[in-house]
Amino acid sequence: MTDVTLKINGETRSASVPPETTLLKMLRENFNLTGAKLGCDIGDCGACTVIIDGKSVNSCLMLAGQVDGREVLTIEGLATPDHLHPIQKTFEDCASLQCGFCGPGVIMSAKALLDDNPNPSVVEIRDALAGNLCRCTGYTKMIQAVQEASKVMRSDTVRRLAKTNG
């Protein structure tokens, strides 16, 4: 068995898993975090996307043992009990998802992008979402939602800075 201790959504968690266990399997089966989805299991669809130390990754391609000591953010870590994350809210407002299966992965890819690049171009958004497949909605509304979220997040940052600076 492999012992793994990591931070998930800000909380330290531990598990003992067979060495071949993927991060996705551990998240879903050991920690009951089922937001990241099992689609292809070979790195093609992006449904399993999570953020590790600030970078979006396909959790089906990583072994649980590889995340020992690292920080993982999953879709469950985005919203607070009272508020959706701005990206979740704009996806809702723009009706960017239909069945929703791809949604957690797409939103985590968008989050990694906006954390790194608060004002991305359409080409940069397309590029960031290129590894996330959607069979229902198409990508136009997703791109629109990411653009809207980038505006909201930038104005939130300006408001926060204005408050801090008195």
- Cβ-based nearer residue to ligand FES, 137 or 150: 137
By CB under 6 A, what part of segment 32-51 binds ligand FES?
Answer: 38-41, 43-48
Q: Which residues pair with 49 in a beta bridge?
A: 58
Alpha carbons 62 and 131: distance in angstroms, whole number: 16
The secondary structure of 94-133 as a DSSP string is: TT--SS-TTHHHHHHHHHHHHHH-SS--HHHHHHHTTT--
What minimum distance in Å lies between the beta carbon of 10 and ligand FES? 23
Tally Cβ neighbours within 10 Å of residue 133: 17
Binder among 5, 16, 53, 99 for ligand FES (CB under 6 A):
99
Binding mask 106-145 for ligand FES (x = CB under 6 A): ----------------------------xxxx--------
- Cβ-based nearer residue to ligand FES, 137 or 144: 137
156 CB contacts (<8 Å, ≥6 apart)? Answer: 86
Asked if 62 is part of the footprint of ligand FES (rule: CB under 6 A), the reply reads no
Chain residues in the site for ligand FES (CB under 6 A): 38-41, 43-48, 58, 60, 97-102, 134-137
